[in-house]
């Protein structure tokens, strides 16, 4: 199989790029894929803590690029999942420590050993963004159903296409179905209408994300987590499986549950 390089980006900060990268990577590894996660947020690394691997960092991405260590030495192996690795960002350098050309070479090197290279992109549209997208063959845009996030996503889509990364895929994150229902939050259709790009998945707002980040265990490991379940479905879609997008109707009352049972019976 030809390896795939996916960059996870958003423009706006705090919409869930790192959480998405950690969860998709873990979910793909759970499907027995060989996955490496690349943190390109130099100076503000966080993918290590979300994955619970912060205590095992010796070398980082800048050390590799500058030849201070071998690539294999800097890769951190996740003990929980066979085939899951992290290449952490440097914390004491800045985003100009790497050039897009160096990044491209690094990604090409990783492609020899892995099925999937997931690149966690920093917020913004400057050097860090240009580095992160330089080696990618596909882009995943994460947006929350808010005006500011969708606006930035639109800008990112334009910049991606200008760099030759066509057909970016959208993940709508932190959707609150209750608010959508009462007309106080944009729905999936509204966002797709505005951005006119393909939908890769929808992840509901879920407190379990906070809990799993506290513990350093991605939510996909928790079978009861709704967001985790959504990420597992996205991962299956990435591997080419045809998985329908759920609408995340919250069924609270007995009548709804009964209706649902009837639907299944039919």
Partner 1 sequence: MALLDTITRIFMKDSGSKAVATERLRLVLVHDRSSISPGLINALKEDLIKVIKCYMEVDEDLLQVSLENEDDSVALVANIPIKGFNRVVNE
Residues in the site for partner 1, rule: CB under 8 A?
146-147, 150-151, 154-155, 158, 180, 182-187, 190, 194
User: Least CB distance from residue 156 to partner 1, whole Å?
Assistant: 11
For 5, 50, 102, 143, the CA distances from 10, given in Å and listed in that order, are 17, 18, 22, 6
- Cβ distance to partner 1 smaller for residue 137 or 146: 146
- Cβ distance to partner 1 smaller for residue 154 or 222: 154
How far apart, in whole angstroms, are the C-alpha atoms of residue 172 and residue 143? Answer: 5
User: Least CB distance from residue 180 to partner 1, whole Å?
Assistant: 8
- Cβ distance to partner 1 smaller for residue 163 or 208: 163
- Report how many helices (DSSP H) and strands (DSSP E) the chain contains, helices first: 12, 8
User: Least CB distance from residue 125 to partner 1, whole Å?
Assistant: 12
- Cβ distance to partner 1 smaller for residue 86 or 180: 180
User: Least CB distance from residue 191 to partner 1, whole Å?
Assistant: 9
Q: 3-state DSSP call for residue 82?
A: coil
How far apart, in whole angstroms, are the C-alpha atoms of residue 160 and residue 8? Answer: 12
- Cβ distance to partner 1 smaller for residue 161 or 222: 161
User: Least CB distance from residue 183 to partner 1, whole Å?
Assistant: 3
220: tokens are 């996909």
How far apart, in whole angstroms, are the C-alpha atoms of residue 112 and residue 110? Answer: 5
CA angle (214 as vertex; 132, 247 as ends), nearest 5: 70
């Amino acid at each position: 199989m030809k390896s795939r390089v996916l960059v996870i980006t958003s423009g706006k900060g705090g919409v869930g790029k790192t959480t998405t990268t950690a969860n998709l990577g873990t979910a793909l590894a759970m499907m027995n894929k060989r996955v490496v996660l690349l943190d390109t947020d130099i100076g503000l690394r966080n993918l290590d803590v979300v994955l619970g691997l912060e205590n095992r960092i010796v070398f980082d991405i800048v050390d590799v690029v500058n030849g201070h260590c071998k690539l294999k030495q800097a890769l951190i192996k996740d003990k929980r999942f066979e085939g899951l690795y992290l290449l952490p960002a440097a914390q004491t350098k800045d985003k100009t420590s790497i050039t897009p050309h160096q990044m491209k070479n690094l990604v090409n090197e990783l492609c020899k050993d892995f099925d999937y290279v997931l690149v966690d992109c920093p917020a913004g549209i400057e050097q860090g963004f240009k580095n992160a997208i330089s080696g990618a063959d596909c882009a995943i845009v994460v947006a929350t159903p808010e005006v500011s996030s969708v606006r930035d996503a639109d800008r990112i889509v334009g910049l991606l296409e200008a760099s030759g990364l066509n057909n970016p895929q959208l993940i709508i994150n932190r959707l609150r179905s209750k608010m959508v229902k009462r007309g106080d939050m944009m729905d999936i259709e509204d966002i797709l209408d505005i951005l006119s790009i393909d939908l890769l998945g929808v992840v509901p707002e879920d407190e379990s994300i906070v809990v799993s980040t506290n513990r350093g265990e991605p939510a996909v490991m928790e079978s009861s987590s709704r967001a985790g379940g959504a990420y597992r479905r996205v991962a299956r879609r990435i591997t080419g499986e045809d998985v329908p997008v759920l609408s995340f109707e919250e069924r609270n009352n007995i009548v709804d549950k009964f209706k649902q049972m009837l639907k299944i019976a039919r």
